[in-house]
Amino acid sequence: MIINTGQRTDIPAFYPEWFANRLREGFVMVRNPYNPLQVSRYRLDREVVDAIGFCSKNPGPFFKYMDLLDGYGQFWYVTITGYGKDIEPGVPDKEKVMEDFKWLSKRVGINSVGWRYDPIFVDEKYTVDYHLQRFQEMAANLEGYTNRVVISFIDIYAKVKRNFPEAKGVTAEEKVYLGQKMVEIAAAHDMVVKPCAEGDFLAKYGADCGGCMTIADYEKAIGKSLVVPKSKNKPARENCSCYITADIGAYDTCAHFCKYCYANNDINQVRINRGLHDVNSPLLIGNIGPDDIITEAEQRSWVDNQMNIFQFI
């Protein structure tokens, strides 16, 4: 099965020691965000965990623990955008992150690391032309270190509207123009654009609209075929074709404080939660309490070990 670490927070950036301890001890616990007393316990056993998925804006802090991931399948997405500190105040210098991206690619392989340039919004500072220029510069820098780049356009969810009231949606015309040009730029640097939950309107320009983190993507990353139970292959959200489940993170815990963030609801709560973090706890935030109901997660490997007759043809 697949463990995901990156839909609710940035574990490599802010909680690397904690995750290293979880790998050493061989298990992790996670609270149900909608029923906090319900806690799931996952084994971090290579016999049942086929891959671990990461999504980070700053993977570098975890690099000193990379040996602990030996023997696990991995897939990393690293988000590198053109925004400055006014939008992404806690994100390190982008040049440093790109160098870390290259190091990571060399470590895990080109099929196991992808670049995300998202979410895209347009205003007087971050214009269409600005995005295309920065995208071109970054694509040139990362050429040869990944074969994919994910793009998406900002969704004005309630929490985004509250934390980033000046944000506006990208017009349909801007989406088509930006998307088409980004597909062309990416192709020139041996990358395929994979739109995230944007439908298929960019497919005719050469984008791969089949999802940015699918079972097929995991299979390519780990070099093995997976047979996933139908009940487990669920989209992350509407219009999403990706496979994302068993996330061990927690909402309101990411200190990048990006204004467009979908995972932080309250900046003050982020600070409170980070104060409750214990690197030795099985939970990312806080510890197990007397009223918690702990359930062992159902886990088994999904690797298809049957012999493929076509390999002999």
Higher pLDDT, 195 or 309: 195
Mean pLDDT of 22-30: 97
Give the DSSP letter string of 4-23: E--SSS-HHHH-HHHHHHHH
> Which residues make Cβ contacts (< 8 Å) with residue 136, sequence separation at least 6?
185
**pLDDT band, very low/low/confident/very high, at 234 (cuts 50, 70, 90):** low
pLDDT digits (tens, 9 = 90+) for 159-177: 788 888 898 889 999 999 9
pLDDT value at residue 309: 36
Residue 252 has pLDDT above 70, yes or no: yes
List the structure tokens of 135.
């995208």
List the structure tokens of 243.
């496979």
Higher pLDDT, 222 or 307: 222
If you average pLDDT over every residue of the chain, what do you get? 91
User: Which of 288, 281, 270 shows the shortest CA–CA distance to 17?
Assistant: 281
Give percent above pLDDT 90 in the chain: 76
The one-character DSSP state at 303 is B
pLDDT value at residue 173: 96
pLDDT value at residue 157: 80
User: Which of 14, 12, 7 shows the shortest CA–CA distance to 273?
Assistant: 14
Higher pLDDT, 246 or 258: 258
Mean pLDDT of 244-255: 90
Helices (H), 41-142: 94-108, 128-142
Q: Where are the beta strands (DSSP E) in 187-284?
A: 192-195
Mean pLDDT of 13-29: 98
pLDDT digits (tens, 9 = 90+) for 126-165: 999 999 999 999 999 999 999 999 999 998 887 788 888 8
Residue 244 has pLDDT above 70, yes or no: no
pLDDT value at residue 241: 63
Residues 222, 256 contacting (CB under 8 angstroms) = no
